[in-house]
Structures are given as C-alpha cells and as structure tokens.
Amino acid sequence: MGTVNEKQKTFVAAHWVHKNDIDLLQAGEICSTASYNVVEVNEFLRAHNFQIQLRDGGPESLYVASILKIALAWHDKGEKTTLAVNNKKYPAVRFERRGKQPFKVYDAPAGKNGNPILELAAKNGDMVYMMVAPANQEPLREFDLLDSIAMWQQNKIESAVPYSAVIFPMVSLDQEVDIRWLLGMNFPTSNGPAQIAQALQQTKFRMNEEGAMVQSAVAIEVQIGIACPNFNPPPVFCIDDSFYIWIMRPEMKTPIFAAYVDKSDAWQEPESLEK
C-alpha cells in the first residue's frame, strides 16, 4: 500500500493493523456496495438517508460505499431533564445510582491532560464513554483523538467518589467528516495499480434517554490503472461542557465510534434514534 502524506503513513503504521476489528461487528451493523456506475452507489447512499454524493470520475473508476449502523439501548430508560450551562438550557438525561442502568466514573488520568470519564453500559455489552474536553485546548480529531482515547483507556482508575447520579446531554449530530487525507493512497490490484481519487464521509450520532445510534457512511472512488460521613448528599457527575465520546466493544482494539461533541450545535434532543 503506497502512501503520499503523513496521515496515510500514520493510518497504515498504527491503525491498519487493527483491521480485523471489523470481524467483531454483528450482522446488519455494516453494509456495502461497489459498482463501476457512480449512480448506483449514490442511490445506495440516498436510500440510507445520507447526503454525500460521489461525482462521476469516468469509466476507469470503481465506486465503493460502506455504511456502519450501531444501535445501542440502555439497560433502563433514563429520566429526561435539562442541563443548564452558561445560562442556556439543554435537553439531558439523568440516571440514578439506585436504578437499573450500570455506570461508572473514572478519575482524570494523572498527567494525561484529561478529565473524569463517564462509562455507561449498553444492553449488548458495548461501553459508551464520555469525557468533558479539557479547557483551553483545541479539540482532538482523527488519529490524535484515537491515540488519546487509547491512552485514557489504559490509564483509567475508577473514582472513589460515591456519585449518586449522572447527567449528560442529549445529542443530535450530523456532520461531514474531512477524509481528503486518503486521496492519492495507492495499492496494487489484479487489473493494475489503483489509487483513491475521492473520499467522503458523513456521520450521524444521536443519544437520548433510551440509548444511542451511530450511523456513518464512507464513499470512495478508486481509479484503476493509475459515601459522605457528614451527611452531605452524594455528588452528581455531570457532562456539562463540550465533550469527547467513544464506544468500545469487548475485544476490539479501536473504538467503533469516536467524536468531539460541541455544545454549540449538537446538544439537542433528536426526533428519534433512527432518523
């Protein structure tokens, strides 16, 4: 596999080695299509409610699209509430310790430039993690975020604070992700050398009191031939600022999903988890 920029080199050296994680996905969680007709691939994307569209690159191009869909349900339905941040109210979810929804809070990794981490268990065994993004730091994205998540996962220690409940914002996120760093990546095929000429990604993430839904589409064009003793109430752990979220599946080496969730545009109640 040939690389033409530093991000491609990082991808091949540090992340492509975990490609077998895809084998741990369940039936129906990923679907794909490929065609030499760009119209067919674009229709596939639209049929799954994605707006990204590939342009026609000519008769020597192969078009491929893959869609990931992960539906998570909490063990119990959370309480709908509001979260007030900087004099603005956001729709949120609250889980009580005495309820049926398992959760843990981990202390901020020592010296790892992070904050306390919330862990929520989904019914299928996946774990959802949230951490308020450190203040005065540019949001981490792409491989920088994945590398930081790996470090946070390795260094997390469960908090001794007896939190009585947790609160986190509902999320309705729909964004196009810039993956143009893939352009120019090349590899051999039985029909000669090939390289990536287009690369598009659209990601949707919704989270409410019932669970969470991840939907992400990638489309590419491949050109071929080229407790308190003083009786104070136990504290409540709250995700109350822009935050990182990631989902881990047992035995997977990399997250199924990871994102930075900015309160300025994504903290809102979704119409439903499906839409």
For residue 124, what are the domain limits? 72-172+228-261
- CB neighbours of residue 127 within 10 Å: 18
Residue 116: inside a domain:
yes
Quote the CA–CA distance of 211 and 170 in Å, as a whole number. Answer: 10
pLDDT at 47: 97
Q: How many domains is the chain built from?
A: 1
Tens of pLDDT, residues 232-275: 567 889 999 999 999 999 989 899 999 999 998 899 999 999 86
Q: Please write the tens of the pLDDT for every residue from 86-140.
A: 999 999 999 999 999 999 999 988 766 789 999 999 999 999 999 999 888 899 9
Inside any domain, residue 203? no
Could you read off the pLDDT of 151-197 as tens digits, one per residue?
999 989 999 999 999 999 999 999 999 999 999 998 887 777 889 99
In a domain, 92, yes or no: yes
Structure tokens at 214: 């991840």
Compute the radius of gyration of the chain from its Cα atoms: 21
Q: Which two tokens stand for residue 212?
A: 């969470």
Which CATH number do you get for residue 149?
Answer: 2.30.39.10
Residue 120 lies in a domain: yes
Rounded CA separation 195/220 (Å): 10
In a domain, 119, yes or no: yes
Report yes or no on 250 lying in a domain.
yes
Q: Which helix (H) or strand (E) holds 201?
A: strand 192-207
Mind listing the pLDDT tens digit for each residue in 34-89? 999 999 999 999 999 999 999 999 888 999 999 999 999 999 999 999 999 999 99
Residue 128 lies in a domain: yes
